[in-house]
Amino acid sequence: MIGRLNHVAIVVPDLTAAAALYSGTLGADVSEPLDLPEHGVTTVFVNLPNTKIELLHPLGEGSTIAKFLEKNPSGGMHHVCYEVDDITAARDKMIADGARILGDGEPKIGAHGKPVLFLHPKDFCGTLVELEQV
């Protein structure tokens, strides 16, 4: 059911410094910052030949990642994102198999302008999983 790895997300305490590290020190192609108020994050994508790295920084007081950064002040890996052909079918299969969908269970539009869902980390070996419809 899952397709290719779309990206690995890393929460960072300083988005500008992290983007400069990836673009300058590592020589990667780095996107401009994009605010996603619905998700409470500002994101930058590091484009690699085989996938992407998503750098995340809290946006607003209700940010979904603010507590993560409080517990991990240096930042750290937040989630992995896998592609799926049909997000509704994937969600229904996950629920039928006993996996928990975070939020209200309805897909939201993610940073790539495509529907996404997040799966509870306790159901996936301690890793927060994002599914993105391609």
Which is catalytic among the residues 32, 38, 106, 130?
130
Residue 120: per-residue pLDDT: 97
* SS3 label, residue 24: helix
Distance CA 70, CA 99 (A): 27
Q: Which residues pair with 128 in a beta bridge?
A: 79
Domain, as residue range, for 52: 5-133
Residue 130: per-residue pLDDT: 98
What is the count of structural domains for the chain? 1
CATH number (domain holding residue 114): 3.10.180.10
Question: In the annotation, is 130 catalytic?
Answer: yes
Residue 103: per-residue pLDDT: 95
Q: Phi and psi for 28 in degrees, rounded to 5?
A: -90, 160
Residue 64: per-residue pLDDT: 86
Tokens coding 114: 């495509």
Chain segment 109-134, per-residue pLDDT in tens: 999 999 999 999 999 999 999 999 99
Chain segment 27-84, per-residue pLDDT in tens: 999 999 999 998 999 999 999 999 999 999 999 988 989 999 999 999 999 999 999 9
